[in-house]
Structure 1
Amino acid sequence: MASALPQLAGGTFLSDGGLETSLVFLDKIELPHFAAFTLLDDELGRERLKSYYVPYLELCGETPGAGFILETPTWRASSDWATLLGVDAARLRALNTQAAQMMCAMRARWAPRLSGPIVVSGVIGPRGDGYIAEAPDSVDDAADYHHQQAEALAAGGVDMLAAVTMTTSAEALGISMAAQRVGLPVAISFTVEMDGRLPSGETLGDAIERVDASTPPAYFAINCAHPTHFEHALTSSAPWIRRIQGLRANASTKSHAELDESTELDIGDPTDLAQRYRGLKSVLPRLNVLGGCCGTDWRHLRAVRDAWVS
C-alpha cells in the first residue's frame, strides 16, 4: 500500500504552512482549542478553509515537476477534543469524512494546473497537547483511540494518513497500527524540543527505531520545531536518518513554552528558515516533502521552494 505513494519515489513535494496559526493570528478567526475542523460546519467556514490552501497550490503550480501533499484540517478532530468542543461522535465522524472529501474535490480542481501529483493526506493529531508528552502511554490504547478518526478519513477517500506533532513513540506506534487496520499508509511526524528530543525525553532516533521495529510507516517527518532545535540531532549515519522524508518546521526559534505564552505571531526570518531547509539536504538524503508549521505561511514556503530548487 505504501509503495503507491508518489513521494516515496523521490522528487519535490510541497505542502502548506501553519494552518491554525494563520487562521488565528493572520485572519483573526476564533478557533477554540485550535480546532480548524469546526469551520467545516458552515459554508462560510468551508470557503475560508479552501481559500487558505490556494496560495500554496499556486506556488506548487509555479514549480516545474513538484507534487503537493494536501493535508486535511483535522489535527484536533479526535474524540477527546470533540468532547471539549461539544461535538458528538456521529458529527465528529461526519466532519472527518467531509474534510477528506473536500480535499479530494480540491485535488480534482487543481490537478490539471500542477505538473506533479497531488496526494490527499488525512491529518491525525495527538490525543493530548502537541507540546507535552501526555496520555495514552499504551500503544494499544493509542491504536484504539485513533482508529475511529483513521476510519472516517479513510471513508472520505484520503490516500494516506499523517500523524503530526507526535510527542511519544507509543502514540505514534498506535496510530501506525490504526492506519494498518484501515489499510492506509501513514507518515509519522515527531515534535522535538530545543534539545532535539521528543517531549517524552526520547531521542528522535530511538523513537523512529521503536516504531519501525513494530509497524513501519511509509516514512517519518519532523514538525513543530525550528531547524536550530534539531540540526545537531541529525549527525548520525544510522539507518533511521534515511527514514526521514518530511519537514514542517516552525517559523520561530522560540521554545514551545515561549510560544505558548505569546500573544503575537512570531514569523521569524523566512529567508534564514529556507536556507536551513536547504542545508538539511546533505544530512537527510531522502528529505523531499516540504511544508511549514506554527507561524509559517505561503511566504515561508515560497522562500523554502526558491532555496530548495536553486
Structure 2
Amino acid sequence: MLVATDTIQGDKAVIDQDNDIRWLSWTGMETHMIFNLGMDLPGFASFPLLDTEPGRALLRKLYRDQIAVAQETGCGACLESVTWMANADRAAALGYDAGDLKRINREAIGFLKELEAEIPVCISGQIGPRGDGYEAGAMTTDAAQAYHAPQIAVLAEAGCDMISAFTIGTVDEAIGMVRAAAVVGVPISVALTVETDGRLPDGTILSDAISRIDAAPSDGVSGYLVNCAHPDHLVLEEAGARLSGLVVNASRLSHAELDEAEELENGNPDELGRQMGDLAKKYPQMRVFGGCCGTDMRHLRAIGRGVHG
C-alpha cells in the first residue's frame, strides 16, 4: 500500500500544499450504513463493527469503494478510522471500558494498514468531541487535553499518519486536542462544525475560532477543515485562506433538522460536486475534500471530479 508519509513535513503538516494531490475523505459512512444499508448502529458508532467478521467485511468494502473512487477521479484517499465515537463517555453506553477502547482504537488503525491501493493513501486516526458534535461543549482546555490524550496516544502508537478531529464545536476542546497530539508528536487537523449561519455551535465566528486555536500555546495544527455543513452554510470570508479542506453534508438541512430526519436527505450529488469545485478554485491551498452526512460514492465521485475540473 502507498501511504502518504512522504507528504509529512516535520511534525506540522501531513497534507502537503506544495504538490497537486487532492485528497478524498469520507466521514459519511455511518449515515450511509443506517439509511442506505438499513443497519442499526447504536449510538451512531461504527467501531463495534471491527469486533465481527461480517462487520469487518463491510468496512473493507466501503473503504475499498472510497479508494476506487479516489483513483478514478485522480485523488489520493484519506481514510478515516472508525473511531470518531471511540472515546470514554460516548462508548460507555455500548459497554466498552478503557481497556476495550485501547484495543479497538489500535485495531482500527491496523485494519486500515491492511488495505491495498495503487494511489497515495493517508491513514487518519479520527477522533470526535466528548459530547454531541452538534452542541457546544463546556470543557476547559486542560480538561479536554486530559480527556482526549489516551485515545490520541493509542492512535499515534498504532501508527496513524495523522489525527483528524471532526465535528468540533468549541474552541477550548479543540485546543486541548491539539495539545494532546503535540505531546505524542503526531500531526493533527481540526475540522470545525458550523451551523447554517456559518458560526460554531458555541457561537464563535469561524475565523475567530481558528485565530484563537493558533494563538494558544501548543505545537500548532497541521490544518483546519470545516465539516458537517453544506457549502451553502459556509461563511468563509477571511477564514477561507486558512482552511486546508472541506468535508461537507449532502443536505442543506440544519443540524437540528438532520437529527430529527427519519429519511436520508442526500441532496444533489452533481450540484455538490460543482460547488466544491468552485471552492477548490477559489481557495487553491485546500487539499482535502470529501463528504459527511448523507453522502455516498455518488457524492464522492462528483466531488473528486469537481475539484479536478
TM-score of the alignment, normalized to the shorter chain, above 0.5? yes
User: Which structure 1 segments of 5+ residues have no match?
Assistant: none
Answer whether contact 2:164 2:191 (CA < 8 A) is retained. yes
In the TM superposition, 1:119-130 aligns within 5 A as 119-130=122-133
Deviation at 1:277, TM superposition (A): 0.7
Matched, 1:71 2:80: yes
Distance in 2 of aligned mates of 1:68 and 1:8: 16
Answer whether contact 2:88 2:101 (CA < 8 A) is retained. yes
Matched, 1:30 2:29: no
Identity %: 43
Residues 55-84 of structure 1: CA distance to partner in whole angstroms, max 9, x if unpaired? Answer: 2100122234x3221110111000001211
**Residue aligning to 2:191:** 189
Distance in 2 of aligned mates of 1:228 and 1:308: 17
**Residue aligning to 1:87:** 96
Deviation at 1:6, TM superposition (A): 4.4
Letter aligned with residue 236 of structure 2 = L
Letter aligned with residue 193 of structure 2 = T
Residues 68-104 of structure 1: CA distance to partner in whole angstroms, max 9, x if unpaired? Answer: 2111011100000121111111011100000011111
Matched, 1:46 2:56: yes
Deviation at 1:42, TM superposition (A): 1.3
Distance in 2 of aligned mates of 1:307 and 1:119: 21
Q: Which moved more, 1:120-129 or 1:242-251?
A: 242-251
Answer whether contact 2:78 2:121 (CA < 8 A) is retained. yes
User: Which structure 2 segments of 5+ residues have no match?
Assistant: 1-9
CA gap of 1:10–1:201, structure 2 versus 1, over 3 A, is farther
Distance in 2 of aligned mates of 1:7 and 1:34: 32
The TM-score, its normalising length taken from structure 2, stands at 0.93
Letter aligned with residue 34 of structure 2 = V
Deviation at 1:19, TM superposition (A): 1.0
Letter aligned with residue 63 of structure 2 = Y
Letter aligned with residue 245 of structure 1 = S
Deviation at 1:4, TM superposition (A): 5.8
Q: Which moved more, 1:47-56 or 1:188-197?
A: 47-56
Which of 135, 138, 141 matches 1:139?
141
**Residue aligning to 1:227:** 231
Answer whether contact 2:27 2:80 (CA < 8 A) is retained. no
Distance in 2 of aligned mates of 1:202 and 1:4: 25
Distance in 2 of aligned mates of 1:5 and 1:308: 19
**Residue aligning to 1:248:** 247
**Residue aligning to 2:68:** 58
Answer whether contact 1:17 1:297 (CA < 8 A) is retained. no
Distance in 2 of aligned mates of 1:187 and 1:159: 11
Partner of 2:26, secondary structure, is coil
Residues 92-132 of structure 1: CA distance to partner in whole angstroms, max 9, x if unpaired? Answer: 110000001111121xx22xx22xx2110000000010111
Answer whether contact 2:13 2:222 (CA < 8 A) is retained. no
Residues 27-71 of structure 1: CA distance to partner in whole angstroms, max 9, x if unpaired? Answer: 11211110111111111111111111122100122234x322111
Aligned pair count?
Answer: 297
Deviation at 1:3, TM superposition (A): 4.6
**Residue aligning to 2:5:** none
- Cα-Cα RMSD: 1.4
Answer whether contact 2:137 2:173 (CA < 8 A) is retained. no
Residues 5-36 of structure 1: CA distance to partner in whole angstroms, max 9, x if unpaired? Answer: 24343421112250110111111121111011
Answer whether contact 2:13 2:223 (CA < 8 A) is retained. no
Deviation at 1:283, TM superposition (A): 3.7
Distance in 1 of aligned mates of 2:291 and 2:170: 21
Distance in 1 of aligned mates of 2:29 and 2:58: 11
Matched, 1:96 2:105: yes
**Residue aligning to 1:295:** 294
CA gap of 1:94–1:190, structure 2 versus 1, over 3 A, is same
Distance in 2 of aligned mates of 1:4 and 1:18: 24
Letter aligned with residue 227 of structure 1 = P
Partner of 2:16, secondary structure, is helix
Which of 169, 173, 185 matches 1:171?
173
Distance in 1 of aligned mates of 2:24 and 2:91: 30
Distance in 2 of aligned mates of 1:156 and 1:8: 26
Answer whether contact 1:127 1:135 (CA < 8 A) is retained. no
Letter aligned with residue 89 of structure 1 = A
CA gap of 1:261–1:4, structure 2 versus 1, over 3 A, is closer
